Structure 1
Amino acid sequence: MWLNASCFLEFQMSVPTPFLLMLRPRSGWQQWIAREEYVLSPSVPVVEFTDSFGNLCQRIVAPAGHFSVRTSVDIETAEASDTAPGAPFVEVQHLPNEALPFLYPSRYCESDRFTNMAASLVTGRISGYDQCSAIVDYIRDAIRYTPGDGQQIISASELNQLGHGVCRDMAHLGIACCRALSIPARMVVGYLEALEPMDLHAWFEAYVGNRWYTFDPTQTDLKGGRVAIAFGRDAADVAIYTQFGDPVELLNMDVRVQQMSGPPY
């Protein structure tokens, strides 16, 4: 399907402020970018680089006063994410090097604390994809999804005690449990068509069957176009913007995803 996805951020600052932005999706396995707009107002110099996870990042210094960022992308993406029940577990010694960083505990995914719990959740399941599915089933049953209620980032352990959270937090728990079983898992931030309420969304991917597969504890199925913007170990790696120095005021954030009838040109 063809989608147009856009994000508008509006800030007010008292002093010039360094920012690190992460708002440009890349063409990849299940998405192809046909057109992209990226407007900073007022215009400022931008230095772009690719981080260690392959994300496109932009460094800027925003001036004091009013500042906005507007992005828009026309993109062809799959109508549903691939599934593969029965896809096998990949032994650690056979994993590609780029998957290895997603085996370790991280700031918000304390997988070393979930060894026993993860093992109990997947009892009787075939090692690999089916274990990931069992973990997702547990999160859907045990954790209440409360979109719009996640100002404070919480870890997998904190979410498991609290019992409710946003998409980002639920992804943390899924990632931690997968890693506890020696399954590489990474966080994804992006757009999801028909998400209610509309916002940027977070889910996770696990490496089984020699490739990455999508898992989303907040959705009952994997239908709908997804646009991945950034990948990382947890939320600390995939913030769409990070500002440094004095606090700034986010005046407005508007995210829109619309299906298009066909190629835009």
Structure 2
Amino acid sequence: MWLNASCLLEFQIPVPSPFLLKLRPRSGRNQWIAREEYILSPSAPVNEFTDMFGNLCQRLVAPAGNFSVRTSVYVETADSSDTAPNAPFIEVQQLPDDTLPFLYPSRYCESDRFTEMAASLVRGYSSGYDQCTAIVEYVRNTIEYTPGAGQQIISATELNQLSAGVCRDMAHLGIACCRALSIPSRMVVGYLEGLVPMDLHAWFEVYVGNRWYTLDPTQADMNGGRIAIAYGRDAADVAIFSQFGNPVELLNMKVTVEQMSGPNY
């Protein structure tokens, strides 16, 4: 399917402020970027680089006053995410080198604290994908999904105590449990067609059966086109914007995702 996704960020900035943005999706195995727009108002010089996870990052200094970032992208993607019951666990010594950073505990995914819990959740399940789906079911059934309520990032350990969180927090818990089983797990932020309420969305991917598979504790099924914008170990790596120095005010954020017949060249 073809999707047109857009994101608008509007800020009030007291003094010129450095920003790091991650708002440009890349073409890959699961998505093809046909066209995109990226508009800064007022315009500012931008330096783009690729971070250690392959994300396209934009550095700039936003001028004082009203400042906006508007992005739009036309993407060809699948109308649902692949599933793979019985996809096998890959032993650590057989894993590709680029999956290894997603085995370690990270700031918001303290996998070293979930060894016993993860083992109990997957008892009786085949090693690999089936264990991951058991963890997703646990997160979905025990954590209340409260979209729009999470301004402060919380870790997997904190969420397990609070029992309510946003998509980002639920992904943290799923990732931590999967990593506790030595299954590489990474966080993804992007767009999801049909998400209610519409916003940028977070989910996670696991590496089993020699490839990455999408998992999402907030959704009852894997239907809907997805556009991945950024990948990382946890929310600290996939923030769509990071601002440094004197605090700025985010006045408005608007996200849209529409199914299209194809890009209008």
User: Which residue is equivalent to 2:21?
Assistant: 21
* Deviation per residue, 1:193-223 (Å, 9 max, x gap): 0000000000000000000000000000111
CA distance in 2, matches of 1:24, 1:47: 13
User: Which residue is equivalent to 2:120?
Assistant: 120
Matches within 5 A, 1:75-154: 75-154=75-154
CA distance in 2, matches of 1:106, 1:39: 33
CA distance in 2, matches of 1:117, 1:129: 17
CA distance in 2, matches of 1:230, 1:13: 25
User: Which residue is equivalent to 2:177?
Assistant: 177
CA distance in 2, matches of 1:199, 1:264: 24
Aligned residue-pair number: 265
* Deviation per residue, 1:161-216 (Å, 9 max, x gap): 00000000000000000000000000000000000000000000000000000000
Aligned structure 1 segments of 4 or more residues deviating by more than 4 angstroms: none
The alignment's TM-score, normalised by the length of structure 1, stands at 0.99
Residue pair 2:35, 2:263 contacting (<8 A) in 1 also: no
Indicate whether 1:259 and 2:259 are aligned: yes
Instruction: Output the aligned Cα RMSD.
Output: 0.5
CA distance in 2, matches of 1:263, 1:246: 40
User: Which residue is equivalent to 1:202?
Assistant: 202
The SS at the match of 1:20 is strand
Q: AA paired with 1:54?
A: G
CA distance in 2, matches of 1:250, 1:135: 35
Residue pair 1:105, 1:179 contacting (<8 A) in 2 also: yes
Give 1:263 deviation, angstroms: 4.2
User: Which residue is equivalent to 1:59?
Assistant: 59
CA distance in 2, matches of 1:12, 1:262: 35
CA distance in 2, matches of 1:262, 1:19: 33
User: Which residue is equivalent to 2:187?
Assistant: 187
Residue pair 2:79, 2:223 contacting (<8 A) in 1 also: yes
User: Which residue is equivalent to 2:229?
Assistant: 229
Question: Identity rate of aligned residues, in percent?
Answer: 80
The SS at the match of 1:221 is coil
Q: AA paired with 1:52?
A: M
Residue pair 1:74, 1:264 contacting (<8 A) in 2 also: no
CA distance in 1, matches of 2:13, 2:133: 44
Q: AA paired with 1:250?
A: L
CA distance in 2, matches of 1:118, 1:230: 26
The SS at the match of 1:49 is strand
CA distance in 1, matches of 2:260, 2:197: 20
CA distance in 1, matches of 2:216, 2:235: 15
Residue pair 1:147, 1:166 contacting (<8 A) in 2 also: yes
